[in-house]
Structure 1
Amino acid sequence: MEEQIAALAAELAAVKDATAGLNRTAAETFYYVTIPLMVLIHAGFLSYEMGASRAKNALASGIKNILAFAFIIPTFYYAGWFIYWAFPTGFSTSPGPAGISGWDYAVGAASPVGSVMGPSVADSATGVFFGAFAMFAATTASIMSGSLIERIQIVGFTILAIVLGSFVWILGAAWGWHADGWLVTSLGYHDFGASGVVHAIAGFFTLGVLINLGARVGKFNPDGTANSIPGHSLPATLVGLMLIIAGFWGFLMACVIFPGEPWSWGTGIFATIYGTPVTLSAMTFNILMGFAGGAIAAWVMTHDPFWMMSGALGGIISVAAGLDLYWPPMAFVIAAIGGVIMPLASRYVERRRIDDAVGAVALHGVVGVWGVLAVGIFASGYPALTSDGAPVITLVGQLGGAVVMVLLGFVPGYAVSLLLKRFGLLRVPKEAELLGLDKVKVPAVAYPEILGEPARGPVTPAQ
């Protein structure tokens, strides 16, 4: 009898080990898959931004987008990932209530010179989590990139992208997108899909840069009225926007915490980054309703293909913060309101003689704030965390969080771009802008047959 019990115990232990191994592999694969899906966002921004540029600037616009992506990876490795774990409670770097933050925790979990930030068969989580967050970081820079096309220096833009992607937004994420974040523990701030910590921060950082960068030559008349400067390929812009939306499935997929692991919130179902329950099924309802509501409302408002597709993305951003909480018809209405707000906000920005080439301040900044506030309006009373005595979601808390996100984006964006302007690193000379940035910055021609110019520079295999 004892031998049978021992055999059953050994068999049970083997089954537990096998199940744990399968769950660990499934979790690792889940986050691994989110990364190439999020790369689609950057493929989309590349097409979107190049299409929104005039032909003489197409390659320069694309190159700075790719460079931002490339530079953010190492800088996020050395700084951004550490910031997320060290600063949730503020600049004191003290540990938070959940015990997963603070300087000492960050040294153990995210030190760029420690063994944890490298290959280890005992650690199947750190690398894929880092990769997903690095894609979030690169997304903030891509949000900014399109607004600045056709007149910003590549060096200046790269510096701004590093500041935004590897320092600024991740500080906001530590405060409002972490279970120990002071905005969460003090105000009950809820931002599941990053309407505030990614979109609002990036949008208002962009606004700060645009004020110092100035408008493109010919954008505004002496009386303040604006001229349209259409891009060379609206189809490429529309395809790019659709790719961004496809990539956002990976973005939002990476916002959930896989169950059943030592670092998970539980063993049952997915959880938000705050530990509250969520399912992929609920997310799917609301992502699709957000897409539809934003696209329909923006089309009704403008009858413009560009704004219709931007509205689809704006609809998703509108519902992202409360994606885990909304009933689908409510998500549709919230998204439709975002689709109405977006073109109105863009017109207001233009009336202020600010040249936002793709409307990112309205689409990501203003609509991102709306997404945060919508949670306070439509989902007040839900618990912000699962711990005992945790605060609940309130409109006041969401408003406070939104103000922090706006200031955290705008102030560094304005200050750093002003510094770059003083050193002559922000804007290209007027002569270069009129000639086209491809001619002065890129040893290649985007459309040699159309522009009637031979290809310049070394002949590549593609040529």
Structure 2
Amino acid sequence: MSLDISTIYAEQVTLNQLVQNLLYASGTVGAIFVVIGLLLIDAGTTRRKNLFNSTIEKTLGFFLGFTTYYVIGFGFWAAQYYIMVEGTLMDSIKDWWIGGAMTNSLAHRVDPAIFPGLNTFQIFVFFLAVFAGIINVLLHFSVAERMKPAAYYITCVVAAVVSSALSLVTWGSVGPLTNLGFHDFFGVGFVYMFPAGMLLVFTPMLGKRPGMMEPHPRVSAYLAPSIGLCAPGLLMIFAGLPPVILSCLFFFDPEAMAFSVTMAETSVGVALNNYALVWAGGAVTGLILAYASKNYAYTLLGPLAGYVAGASGFDVYLPWQALLLGLVAPLAAYAVYEFTLKRGIDEHKLFPLFLGSGTLGLIFLGIFKAGTPRGGYLGIEEGAYAFQHGEISLLMQLAGIVTCVGTGVVTALVLSVILKATVGLRVDDADQVDGLDKLYWDLEPDVHTHADSVPGAGSTGRPHDAPAAARTPDGLARS
């Protein structure tokens, strides 16, 4: 069959369009490297008897969120641009569900008067689907080894749908909260604060892992297999995120002038330098906290805390402000970490980073960048969606925090009732002790530690009433 040139819309496939397509595609690759980094960190910190199960559940949870987003999720986020031009949410979902017209059309066959830049939007489905999966990976960090697989997988599907709806409200430039003044360059609200809100419900329901916070009759200490894997995992995340930042920018004439997804004026160089400096500042303060407390965990939490705090404002900060925020952010993570530790709460990742540093960053932005113009859409000169009609404000930052965390709390409350009544929620303590690799996959670790030994069964493990091994503040044994 010959190609009918008369039906081709060349404006959809220009060299400029291709360059933008490649840029957004690189962000998708960067996001996948973030997933690899997260899996490396998990592999280094999960008890040997649960290591395969924890890794494969994260991987499958990622793809469940990823697939769910393709089926229905993108239509929620894209709806803000439909509503901007007097369309509806259902119009967007109809176009962008897995069987939708825009999802399944070749860009050069679609009149730009109907949908300009179609290739870019189609690539954005892939890009945001990866983050729907990342939300589930992050959630699993705090429910691993104690939530039943069926419960987790159901949660993954629900979380993908709800976070998609939340992204419509809180991320972009013309969604309800963002158009009013809530500023979130990187999606901190729906990617980080939302799962943290869910864990405010799930963490107390799931309880503590045996041997994590105190000695257990059969698990004298929670021993991680290879903490050293965390450092390359951390650097993998650091390396993967710069192209993701580029994918959170819109480029307009002249040539490639950059505006953030919130329509704030920015530039590629400043945004990337802000990213680099929050990591650097967080690493410096994390180093000081780690050596002062003799707790290795702050060497990892420090740079991540700086990043999470700064992510909402990479587009509007000046480099010196980003460095200052990076230096301060680990203190918020430290405060939350110590709070959870003293109360025996077995959650040492999402609470310190997201509820601690993430909240600090959103508030910091509302105070120090208040009045910065953003919102609306370039080319619209009047009305509710006029370009940069909105300004960053502390009140709207607080409203965004409450919305994102509150959505997570409500989602988990509803889910917990359903899961308890159907597939069950929590893995029994005895099964946790024996190991989920054995329970679900009939796998045994090739190395057994004294903490995995069963006293009284001819093992070399210490009796259950012997003193516990010295512990770092996160419950891991220290030699």
TM range (shorter): 0.7 to 0.9
The structure-2 alpha-carbon separation of the partners of 1:281 and 1:100, relative to structure 1 and needing over 3 Å to count, comes to: farther
**CA distance, structure 2, for counterparts of residue 121 and residue 326 of structure 1:** 36
Quick check: 1:396 aligned with 2:391? no
Query: For residues 401 and 360 of structure 1, do their structure 2 counterparts lie closer, same or farther at Cα, with a shift above 3 Å needed?
Result: same
Change (3 A) 1:254 1:153: same
Residue 73 of structure 1 corresponds to: 66
* Structure 1 residue 137 corresponds to structure 2 residue 135: no
Query: How far does residue 267 in structure 1 lie from its aligned partner after superposition?
Result: 5.1
* Alpha-carbon distance in 1 for matches of 2:41, 2:388: 46
- Name the counterpart of 1:375: 365
Deviates more, 1:208-217 or 1:52-61: 208-217
Q: Aligned-pair distance for 1:341?
A: 0.8
SS class of match (2:331): helix
**Deviations along 1:348-392, whole A, 9 cap, x unmatched?**
123333211x42121123322222111101100111325258221
Shift of 1:18: 9.1
The residue correspondences of 1:116-155 to structure 2 (distance < 5 A) are: 116-118=102-104, 120-122=106-108, 123-155=118-150
Q: Match for residue 6 of structure 1?
A: none
How many residue pairs match? The answer is 418
Offset from partner CA, 1:235-254 (integer Å, 9 cap, x none): 11232222222222233222
Contact 1:208 1:414 in 2 (8 A): yes
1:163 aligned partner, one-letter code? V
Contact 1:241 1:310 in 2 (8 A): no
Alignment partner of 1:352 out of 343, 351, 355: 343
Alpha-carbon distance between aligned partners in 2 of 1:408 and 1:206, rounded to the nearest angstrom = 11
Q: Equivalent of 2:236, from 204, 220, 243?
A: 243
Q: Which amino acid aligns with 1:102?
A: T
Equivalent of residue 182 in structure 1, options 176, 187, 192 = 176
Shift of 1:259: 3.1
Q: 1:354 to 1:450 in 2, by over 3 A?
A: closer
- Correspondences of 1:39-438 after superposition (within 5 Å): 39-86=32-79, 88=80, 96=83, 98-99=84-85, 102-107=88-93, 109-118=95-104, 120-122=106-108, 123-164=118-159, 166-186=160-180, 188-221=181-214, 229-259=222-252, 268-303=256-291, 304-356=295-347, 358-385=348-375, 387=386, 390-438=389-437
Judged with a 3 Å threshold, the aligned counterparts in structure 2 of structure 1 residues 430 and 20 are, in CA distance, closer, same or farther, namely closer
Is residue 276–residue 384 contact of structure 1 (8 Å, CA) maintained in 2? yes
| TM-aligned CA deviation for residue 232 of structure 1 | 1.4
Q: Distance in 2 between matches of 1:389 and 1:273?
A: 12
Name the SS of the counterpart of 1:270 in structure 2.
strand
Q: Is the 8 A contact 1:203 1:366 kept in 2?
A: no
RMSD: 2.7
Aligned residue among 13, 25, 28 for 1:35: 28
Residue type of the alignment partner of 2:279: F
Q: Show CA shifts across 1:132-154 (max 9, x none).
A: 10111112111111112222222
Quickly say closer, same or farther: Cα 1:411–1:23, change in 2 above 3 A.
same
Q: Cα distance 1:381–1:160, how it changes in 2: closer, same or farther (>3 A)?
A: same
Give the 3 Å change call, closer, same or farther, for CA 214–103 of structure 1 in structure 2: same
Distance (whole Å) between structure 2 residues aligned to residue 273 and residue 349 of structure 1:
35
- Amino acid aligned to 2:409: F
**In structure 2, C-alpha distance between the alignment counterparts of 1:215 and 1:63, rounded to whole Å:** 22
Q: How far did 1:440 drift?
A: 0.8
- Superposition deviation, residue 336 in structure 1: 1.8
Residue 5 of structure 1 is matched in structure 2 by: none
Once the 2 structures are TM-superposed, how far is the Cα of residue 393 of structure 1 from its aligned partner?
A: 0.9
CA gap of 1:82–1:419, structure 2 versus 1, over 3 A, is same
How far has the Cα of 1:27 moved from its partner? Answer: 1.0
Aligned-pair CA distance for 1:169: 1.8
Unaligned runs of 5+ in 2: 1-9, 109-117, 377-385, 451-479
Measured in 2, the distance between the counterparts of 1:400 and 1:218 equals 39
Note closer, same or farther for the CA distance 1:245–1:161 as it changes in structure 2 (3 Å cut): farther
- C-alpha change, 1:310 and 1:110, in structure 2 (3 Å) is same
In structure 2, C-alpha distance between the alignment counterparts of 1:228 and 1:335, rounded to whole Å:
33
What letter matches 2:169 in structure 1? W
Shift of 1:414: 3.3
Q: Distance in 1 between matches of 2:18 and 2:134?
A: 27
| Aligned residue identity for 2:289 | M
CA distance in 1, matches of 2:196, 2:321: 25
Structure 1 residues 154, 250: closer, same or farther in 2, change over 3 A? farther
The one-letter code matched in structure 1 to 2:372 is Y
CA distance in 2: counterparts of 1:241 and 1:218, whole angstroms: 26
Secondary structure, aligned partner of 1:180: coil
Question: CA distance change for structure 1 residues 54 and 141 in 2, over 3 Å: closer, same or farther?
Answer: same
SS in 1 for 2:391: coil
| 1:236 to 1:436, Cα distance in 2 relative to 1, 3 A | same
Tell me the distance in 1 between the aligned counterparts of 2:414 and 2:25. Answer: 36
After TM superposition, the score normalised by the length of structure 2 is 0.81
User: Secondary structure at the residue paired with 1:271?
Assistant: strand
